[in-house]
Amino acid sequence: MSEQSSQQDIVIRVRKLCNRFGNNEVHKNLDLDLYRREILGVVGGSGTGKSVLLRSIVGLVQPDSGAIEVFGQELQALSPDQRSRVERRFGVLFQSGALFSSLTLQENVALPLIEHARLSREDAEHLARVKLALVGLSANAYTMVPAQLSGGMVKRAALARALALDPEVLFLDEPTAGLDPIGAAAFDRLIVTLRDALGFSVFLVTHDLDTLYSTCDRVAVLSNKRVLVDGTLETVESTDDPWIRDYFHGPRGRAAQHTRTANSGETE
């Protein structure tokens, strides 16, 4: 990628980000870019600030200092109205799914369409059914409430809601946590298929090595309050660092690499 095209293709540019909670300094001068249409995996030990980074970008945490530029606009410089217009171009899937328990799936997905796109209830629920079909849920689930569904179906419904307003960037916080390996692998494939079809960029926080190997174009490793390394899996794997060694070259890392090699052999 040339210097010029890589500049144009950056959708999120984080520079010198600092976050602190009391005495706990979480980020210090953290730099990171997200490119258009890529799936970026953000990994790191527990407590290294992956979720705080995601929450800083989507506006749920106010950074202490630094710059977050989204679609070429510096977030801190925007008025609340301008900022909420930018945030409407995001879709966010939290670990819990965060669906309303008393609403059916189609009501849950229709909600942002009624609130932000000002659609009538009927139109919103029609579009909600389209989104639910897009994530692979069948029609009999649309009128169920979350408690009637499996964990994998709830994740899919939450993904449909995150996609309701056709986001340009999808943020996923531990999307496969709590899913069995088969459900997790199916969810990983769904993310790649949707990214290919819809062309959004993905900011993916995960501990799941299988997810990293099966979905990510690039990986960023958070360590010591900043991004230690970012690049392709090959670049990251070959970085000389104790955490990277344990994580990528331990038994689980080797198993995930092996699965990827086996799967790429199947498709050739």
Ligand X SMILES: Nc1ncnc2c1ncn2[C@@H]1O[C@H](COP(=O)(O)OP(=O)(O)OP(=O)(O)O)[C@@H](O)[C@H]1O
Shortest distance, position 49 Cβ to ligand X, whole Å: 4
Task: CB nearer to ligand X: give 124 or 205.
Answer: 205
Q: Choose the stretch contacting ligand X; rule: CB under 6 A; options: 6-14, 39-47, 132-140, 161-169.
A: 39-47
Shortest distance, position 168 Cβ to ligand X, whole Å: 23
Q: How far is CA 162 from CA 7, 158, 167, in A?
A: 27, 6, 8
**Residue 48 lies near ligand X (rule: CB under 6 A):** yes
Task: CB nearer to ligand X: give 48 or 211.
Answer: 48
**Residue 162 lies near ligand X (rule: CB under 6 A):** no
**Residue 24 lies near ligand X (rule: CB under 6 A):** yes
**Residue 58 lies near ligand X (rule: CB under 6 A):** no
**Residue 59 lies near ligand X (rule: CB under 6 A):** no
Applying CB under 6 A, among 2, 5, 46, 62 the residue interacting with ligand X is 46
**Residue 26 lies near ligand X (rule: CB under 6 A):** yes
Q: Choose the stretch contacting ligand X; rule: CB under 6 A; options: 45-53, 85-93, 186-194, 260-268.
A: 45-53
**Residue 5 lies near ligand X (rule: CB under 6 A):** no
Shortest distance, position 186 Cβ to ligand X, whole Å: 23
| SS3 per residue for the chain | CCHHHHHHCEEEEEEEEEEEECCEEEEEEEEEEEECCCEEEEEECCCCCHHHHHHHHCCCCCCCEEEEEECCEEHHHCCHHHHHHHHCCEEEECCCCCCCCCCCHHHHHHHHHHHCCCCCHHHHHHHHHHHHHHCCCCHHHCCCCHHHCCHHHHHHHHHHHHCCCCCCEEEEECCCCCCCHHHHHHHHHHHHHHHHHHCCEEEEECCCHHHHHHHCCEEEEEECCEEEEEECHHHHHCCCCHHHHHHHHCHHHHHHHHHHHHHHHHHC
**Residue 62 lies near ligand X (rule: CB under 6 A):** no
Name the one residue in this structure whose structure tokens are 């095209």. Answer: 5
**Residue 51 lies near ligand X (rule: CB under 6 A):** yes
Q: Choose the stretch contacting ligand X; rule: CB under 6 A; options: 19-27, 65-73, 144-152, 157-165.
A: 19-27
Q: Could you list the residues that contact ligand X (CB under 6 A)?
A: 21, 24, 26, 44, 46-52
